[in-house]
Structure 1
Amino acid sequence: MQQEARASAVLHGDETGWRVNGKTHWLWCFAAKNLALYVISPSRGSPVIKKVLGEVFSGVLVCDFFGAYNSIIAWAKQRCITHLLGELKKTSERNTGRM
């Protein structure tokens, strides 16, 4: 499945907190049209992404703004529209009345 993820033309990546024996771990999901690869790791850092995708990913990686996704080279990175809209809303709220 890891090879399929690496060969995907478009791959979505995301992570969320996951408790394992009372300790915080991270559930990573890498999903494509016909693939869902899950990895549970104590790390939320770039080593997980590099282990799954390698140093260079030849497809489009759809992800949020979490810095670990910037640790690999991808042909293109598309930011998740929901996260992008959230960031725009926060920026707008911070800058209301400024000009």
Structure 2
Amino acid sequence: MLLGAGHQYKLRRHSEYYDRASKAIHPHYEAIGEKAQAARVNHVDETPWKNNGKLNWLWVMASSVVAYFMVHTNRSKDAFKSLVGGWEGILVSDGYRLYRNWVHARQTCLAHLIRRAKGLAERKEPELVQCGTWARDEFTSPMQNGQGSANKSRVECILCPAQPADCTVYRLRQ
């Protein structure tokens, strides 16, 4: 269907508004990226993202303060480097090989650990069932049964990549 002159004008105006808005928020977008790259700990992930029918990747780098998003044409080392820049903090991620090769401190995402533990708990081998059941219960009990700091601290220590001297929980127990 062909658009009349009025519709073409509206589309052109829409594009102009989009461009102006993009330029206006760009400094804020850059500031969010800088804030994410200044964080000690960041969760990083990527997911497929269609753009005009073409496959792209939506990347996110999220700290406890900000979430920085980037659309890239690839799911690659170059895209990852573009996202994290010179950041060298603690990476929390899934098991994607690119993340497993991170040379700085890395933690597997708790949701992925719970999923893996549940899978082990459903296996046929008794040793794996026992291990998976224990891990599943340890990882989920602080969130579900409200026992608070005792269980939560135990799980945090299991998951924490910090050395004892850097660990607040460890120091409080001394």
Give the TM-score, by structure 1 length. Answer: 0.78
Residues 59 and 83, structure 2, Cα contact 8 Å, conserved in 1: no
Taking only the aligned residue pairs, the percentage that are identical comes to 32
Q: Which has the larger radius of gyration?
A: 2
**Is 1:69 matched up with 2:62?**
no
Q: CA deviation at 1:11?
A: 0.5
Q: Counterpart in 1 of 2:81?
A: 50
Structure 2: gaps (5+ residues) = 1-31, 128-174
Provide the secondary structure at the position in 2 that maps to 1:47.
Answer: helix
- RMSD over aligned Cα, in angstroms? 2.1
* 3-state DSSP of counterpart to 2:88: strand
The DSSP-based 3-state class of the residue aligned with 1:15 is strand
How much does 1:19 deviate?
0.7
Between the aligned partners of 1:80 and 1:96, the Cα distance in structure 2 is 25
> Residue in 2 aligned with 1:36?
67
Q: Cα 1:30–1:90, aligned 2, differ >3 Å: closer, same or farther?
A: same
Normalised to the residue count of structure 2, the TM-score between the two structures is 0.48
Higher helix share: 2
Unpaired runs of 5+ residues, structure 1, are none
Deviation sequence 1:47-96 (CA, Å, 0-9, x none): 11112223x6432111000112134422x111011112223344555x51
Match runs of 1:21-32 below 5 Å: 21-32=52-63
Secondary structure at 1:34 match in 2: coil
State how far apart, in whole Å, the 2-side matches of 1:87 and 1:44 are. 24
Give, as a single letter, the amino acid of the residue that structure 1 aligns with 2:37.
R
* Alignment size in residue pairs: 96
Indicate whether 1:83 and 2:124 are aligned.
no
Q: Whose strand proportion is higher, 1 or 2?
A: 1
Higher relative contact order (CA closer than 8 Å, sequence separation 6+): 1
Q: Equivalent residue for 1:59?
A: 89
